[in-house]
Amino acid sequence: MDTSTIKPVSLKLILSVLLATAAAGCATPTPKMDDNFGSAVNAAKAAQIINPDASLNTDPVAGLDGQAADAAMSRYHRSFVQPATTPNVFNIGVSSGASGMTSGGAGGGSGGGSYR
């Protein structure tokens, strides 16, 4: 069959069908979800709600008075201004004794000399 007899519209149609078929072959299928998908999240959200009608309660909250709560919050905020200093841990094993080796018997002496 001669390609000059094929109409350009049918050639475009054939190419578009082939392109659509190739693209459909590359698509991934939709994952099959479990019937209980999302129930754990919904159960966790429901467990975190103690009283769904809490906004309807107009009774005042019992607990700290305003001055004590303000003082506690002020102490809390001041604790972040200047953190507590940590002791220097690099002085472990440093002695204030005399430097150099001292003479002595076997195992005697207390010096900071070097061993070779």
Residue in the structure block whose two tokens are 């440093």: 94
What is the per-residue pLDDT for 67?
Answer: 92
Q: How far are the Cα atoms of 64, 78, 80 from residue 67, in angstroms, in the given order? A: 8, 16, 21
What is the per-residue pLDDT for 96?
Answer: 63
- What token pair was written down for 81? 């201004």
What is the per-residue pLDDT for 71?
Answer: 95
Q: How far are the Cα atoms of 9, 50, 57, 63 from residue 53, in angstroms, in the given order? A: 67, 9, 7, 21
- List the chain residues with pLDDT less than 70: 1-8, 83-84, 88-89, 91-116
What is the per-residue pLDDT for 41?
Answer: 92
At 30 the three-state DSSP class reads: coil
pLDDT digits (tens, 9 = 90+) for 56-84: 988 887 888 889 999 999 999 998 887 66
**pTM of the shown model:** 0.25
Cβ–Cβ < 8 Å for 110, 102: yes
Please choose, from the candidates 90, 109, 93, the residue with its C-alpha nearest in 3D space to the C-alpha of residue 101.
Answer: 109
| Residues contacting 86, CB < 8 A, separation 6+ | none
- DSSP annotation string for 70-93: HHHHHHHHHTTTSPPPPPPGGGTT
